[in-house]
Amino acid sequence: MVSDKRRLVSIEKVDKNLDGRIDGIKTIFADESLNKYIIFNSIDKNYDGNLDHQYPQIIPLQQNNFLEEDFTCERMHKVTNFMKHLSQEVEKIILAQNGDYLVTDFGFKIHRGCLKKFGQNFLVKQIKNSLQTGLQCLAKLEEKLQKNLPKNKKIGAPMRNAIKIQTLLKKSPVSLVCDSHKKFELKTKAFASAHENSIAQIDKKTFVKHPYIVLNPKFSKTGPDEIDAHSLRQTLFHEHLHNIGHRHGATMEAPYACEDCCFSSNAKAARKKELACRICTGDYSSFLEKKYIEDLLEWSKLAGHTSIVSLTIKNYLNAFPKSTWGIIKVIQATIAIDPFAIALGQIAINEFKGLTKEEKAAIKATQKYANFAVIKRYSLYSKIAASAFYENRFSHDPKKSMEILELSTATLFQLKNKLTNPKEKLSSIDKEFINILLKNIKSTLNEISEKARGNQLGRYRDFNLYVRSHELFLKLKTSP
């Protein structure tokens, strides 16, 4: 049985011989009390489809390069050959019409809805150009990386990602569809399948299995306009990286970072691109390495993807719940004026001891707008949200966190009701602040529920706490 002191870091699946079957699974826990990683390995020694060999590993927390996969240098040639194959003329790559799909010989099934929207030749050209640009970029990043690595070092993340994309397209065609979906209500350009068992329902009769890319039918204007074409190419490559298993905040950030690195040409955003390429190269020990999180934090603020770094910091705090550094990063990973971050910074000033000059400066920077009237207007709500977060995340006391929220239930409903009360006459900044605070409160309630539920199906660590947190979450979600 896994100790409560151990925090799940990740579950890594490996296909070493690239036959499309899982050859190994690593389940990785961090045990802060032992300063060790605890790794449970299951491997298929004979490559017969059975994970018939299990063994544990225990290594120091600093030695966390076990996440790398073992690819031989010979496999790098596969990507080069694949890229040569993509250079064929558009007219030569259409193989057959299969029902509602047009099948290509470079790993795509294109739904007729996409062909109608973009036009066959235009769309096929953009798919090819997207792959060529993205894979060539990854190859250049790998070449640069290898110059700075020992000769016996395994190949890096750029080539691993390139090989996985090539293998995926060869093994199973990617279904490309353009249709309405509830995700597009959030102005999403597209979505893909990060899990091999994923299925998306497009309409009442149409389902697509992994791997797939679903494009928003309102993606852009139809026709070969260069801006639209560029946006389409970078989005397609972004979704390819999801299809090979990358998820925002749960693995090293590849989709947005590689998109920025490989498709951005804005000279004014040189620092953003530099950081994006560094993150896409992935020369870090793991996605919980502090240097990685620092780079991700700086890039995400420049690129407007702070939600991604927030998810990564959440995973860091799950592994290291007593980390003052992690809490400071939560504060930093916010918008310029954020009532929650200001309140959390005030708690940190009072509670954290022995901080470095840099840490003190980082916390102090969050208090720049503390005396603004709009911030003071939400100070009570902010203190509730920040206190509950602090007790749950840093003190690791979900019961005390729940008590703070329950004692403030009437106040929380008052905050929620402001959004729907026409007499309030809220400004856009008021609405933004209320949504920030409610989002953080509901996130804390969700985490309390997860901790109370535990890891075993049907067995609760604390059923009473689970019910209380879940009920309050629902009330905040549905109350007027």
Q: What is the rounded distance in angstroms from the CA atom of residue 10 to the CA atom of residue 27?
A: 6
User: What long-range pairs does 40-46 form, CB within 8 A, spacing at least 24?
Assistant: none
- Stretch 326-353: mean pLDDT: 86
- The CA distance from 381 to 340, in Å, is 9
pLDDT digits (tens, 9 = 90+) for 286-311: 888 999 999 999 999 898 888 888 88
pLDDT at 412 over 80: yes
The tens digit of pLDDT for each residue in 451-463 reads 888 755 556 788 9
Q: Say how far apart CA 229 and CA 219 lie, in whole Å.
A: 11
Exposed/middle/buried for residue 475 (C-beta within 10 Å: 0-12, 13-18, 19+): middle
Task: Evaluate whether 386 touches 343 at the Cβ level (below 8 Å).
Answer: yes
**Domain residue ranges of the chain, discontinuous segments joined by +:** 6-60, 77-245, 321-478
Contact 465, 450 (CB under 8 A): no
Residue 137 pLDDT more than 50?
yes
Place of tokens 């799950």: 318
Burial call 281-303: b when 16+ CB within 10 Å, e when fewer? bbbbbbbbeeebbebbbbbbbeb
Q: Are 359 and 376 in contact (CB under 8 A)?
A: no
More confident call, 292 vs 206:
292
pTM of the full structure: 0.72
Taking a C-beta distance cutoff of 8 angstroms, is the pair 110, 118 a contact? no
The yes-or-no verdict on residue 92 having pLDDT over 70 is no
More confident residue, 120 or 187: 120
Under DSSP, the state recorded for 248 is: T
Q: What is the pLDDT of residues 27-80, one digit of tens each?
A: 888 777 777 778 888 887 776 777 878 878 887 765 444 444 444 444 555 555
Dihedral, CA of residue 212, residue 218, residue 223 and residue 227, to nearest 10: -90
Instruction: Please state, in angstroms and rounded to a whole number, the distance separating the CA atoms of residues 346 and 164.
Output: 46
Residue 221 has pLDDT above 80, yes or no: no
Confidence of residue 387 (pLDDT cuts 50, 70, 90): very high
pLDDT band at 480 (very low <50, low <70, confident <90, very high): very low
